[in-house]
Amino acid sequence: MLNDFGIDMDKSDLEAAVGMTRKWDAREAGREVARNTIKQLKSLPKFFLLFSTIHYKDHGGFEEFLNGVWDVLPKDTPLIGGTVRGFMNNFGCYTRGATAIAVSSSDMNVAIGYGKNTKRNPKNAAKNCSNMIKENLEKNKYNNKFLLNLISASELPEMQSIGRKKIIEPGLTPKALMKLYTFSQKVLQKGAGRDDEIVEEMINNFPDYNMIGGGTIDSGAGIISYQFFNKDILNNAVVSLAINTNKKLDVLTTHNMKKTGIEFEISKTSKDGRIIHEINGKPAFSELLKLLNWSRDLLNEDTWLQTSFYFPIGSYYNNSKTCFGPRVIGFVLGESLVTGFGSQDKNASILTIDGRGLLETIDKNLGSYSKSPSFGIIASCTTRLETMGDKLYYARDRILKYFNDKPFIVIYVGGESTYSPEKGFSYINMSFNSALFWEDN
């Protein structure tokens, strides 16, 4: 049966396309990534997801980058995205450039929203984003619902007379350090991303939605990241895409990290459980080094990422008894450890993983889907990219096995998460998170 546009309604009209660019010039890159994506579609896109490495900040700027995209993209196409450490798609693995995925379908309603000041007031940012989506999302009969959340990830705090460092040595009293950190977090909005708090609020507002999320980041310096919303460039914001559709979908988080046998008690934390002050009743940083048998000389501004992130703390997220996984230490304030998320779990351990485990995480995740995907969006921790290095193509080979020639993108982010009404909320670090869509033929 043909509709008014000549489309056979008994056949699926779902189309998905992935494009990319490696051009250096921001405007030219924007044009190319949009053109290479859109030209593969026969119909206007329902949405356009855009991801870029931070490089265009210094090669024309992100305003010019988005101007280039909109030179090509059809007017009023809903667009969200942001900066990432790197990306993978059907064409390869990259730590410089931009990629996009666009989808068209007559059986899909879409709305986007944003909220600002995520590090100062995450709950309010999530509420504003949710309200915008609810105002613009059409009422429909579709039962399958999805939400993508992209949130400004943690950034190094900016502290008077100290500057921006991953490791701030003891010197000031703990109370003075916490005051400086609070000022940086609440006033300057430099500090913990608080993306877990944002997703929790999004779940409160959209409890029947499946969700995937990730934190926008730069190239690893932890200085600044950007979020894209239509023609606007934001920072310290959440941008979200809501989809209602008759297509089937599901989400899943896996990590595959193992306990090392190093167990300890988290004996004193901040109120939200994000900052660890004491381990085994002793100053946290010194005790952690002792447990790992590391000298202080091993850790500095240059080695912090390559060392500490690969031996994260294992604990349960907040009060959850099901979401156990890695929890990275973002930075050190004297003797206190600022971690990726809050936890009230006192019992903790050190986790680790090897190359085989990183690859098996992919099989464990994608192998759990019984249907062949039509397209997929995957959020993977940036530390997985850093760890695998030039062996990342082994990971891509695994992913291609599941997708064949179907479009997919993997974005390397911070603060990854998924949620489904059936599985609940999974927020852990160093994880592999998938959102797959398919047709129920």
Q: What is the pLDDT of residues 39-73, one digit of tens each?
A: 999 999 999 999 999 999 999 999 999 999 999 99
Percent of the chain predicted with pLDDT > 70? 96
Pairing of strands 227-229, 232-234: antiparallel
Is residue 260 within 8 A of residue 311, CB to CB? The reply is yes
Q: What is the pLDDT of residues 108-162, one digit of tens each?
A: 999 999 999 999 999 999 999 999 999 999 887 799 999 999 999 999 888 877 8
Longest Cα separation, the chain: 75
Model-level pTM?
0.93
Mean pLDDT along residues 207-234: 95
Mean pLDDT along residues 361-377: 96
* CA distances (Å), origin 288, targets 142, 270, 313: 50, 17, 10
Beta strands in 117-257 (DSSP E): 144-152, 167-168, 210-216, 227-229, 232-234, 237-245, 248-254
